[in-house]
Chains A and B, each alone.
Chain A
Amino acid sequence: MQTLRMDSRLLNSFLEALRAWGTLVAPVERSPGVFALAEIEDVGSARPEAQRTILPFKKLLLKPSFCMLERRDGQAARESTDNDPGPMVYFGAHACDIHALKILDLLYLSEYVDPYYKRNRERLTVVGHGCFPDEKCFCRSQGTANVDDGFDLFLTPLEGRYLVTIASARGDDIVRANQALFEPSTRRDVQEYMTRLKEREKTFTLSMDVTDLPYVLELKRDDPVWEELGKKCLCCGSCSMVCPTCSCFNVHDEIPEEGVTRRMRKWDACLYREYALVAGGHNFRATRADRVKNRYYHKQEAFVREFGKPSCVGCGRCIENCPTGINVVEVFKAVRGEL
Chain B
Amino acid sequence: MSVLIPEAMPVRTPRRKLATGANPYAPAPARIMRIRELTSDIRLFDLRFTDSTLADSFAFRPGQFVELSVLGVGEGPFSLPSSPTRRGVFQLGIRRVGSLTNYLFDHVIEGDEVGIRGPLGNGFPIEMFEGQDMLLVAGGLGMVPLRGLLNYLIDQRERFGRVILLYGTRTPEQVLFRDELQSLSHRGDAEILLSVDDTQGQAWTGKVGVVTELLDMVKFDVSRTYAVACGPPVFYKFMLEKLVDRGFGRHRIYLSLERRMECGVGKCGHCAVGYTFTCLHGPVFSYWDAINLPELIYT
Binding site for B on A (CB under 8 A): 68-69, 71, 76-77, 79, 107-116, 221, 247-256, 261, 263, 265, 268, 270, 275-280, 282, 284-285, 290, 297-298, 301-306
Contacts and interface: CB of A to CB of B under 8 A. Distances in A.
A284 B293 CA distance: 14
A62 B72 CA distance: 22
A251 B97 contact: no
Contact of A253 (B16, B18, B73): B73
B151 to A, nearest CB: 25
Interface residues of B, number: 46
A270 B12 CA distance: 22
B267 interface: yes
Contact of B12 (A111, A250, A298): A111
Nearest to B269: A248
28 contacts: A68-B26, A69-B25, A76-B29, A79-B26, A108-B267, A112-B17, A112-B267, A113-B17, A113-B24, A114-B25, A248-B270, A249-B263, A249-B267, A250-B268, A252-B74, A253-B71, A253-B75, A263-B69, A263-B71, A263-B75, A275-B260, A284-B259, A284-B299, A290-B299, A301-B275, A302-B274, A303-B275, A304-B275
B71 A268 contact: no
Given A248-B268, A268-B269, A280-B98, A305 B17 contact: no
B185 interface: no
B16 A112 contact: yes
Contacts of A278: 258-260
Contacts of A275: 260, 270
B262 interface: yes
Contacts of A109: 15
Nearest to B233: A282
Interface centre among B72, B269, B272, B274 (most CB of A within 10 A): B269
Interface centre among B11, B26, B260, B270 (most CB of A within 10 A): B270
A69 B71 contact: yes
A77 B268 contact: no
Contact of A111 (B11, B23, B27, B295): B11
Contacts of B294: 221
B76 A270 contact: no
Given A284-B295, A305-B275, A256 B269 contact: no
Given A69-B71, A268-B270, 11 more contacts: A77-B27, A77-B71, A77-B115, A79-B23, A110-B15, A112-B16, A261-B71, A277-B260, A285-B295, A285-B299, A301-B274
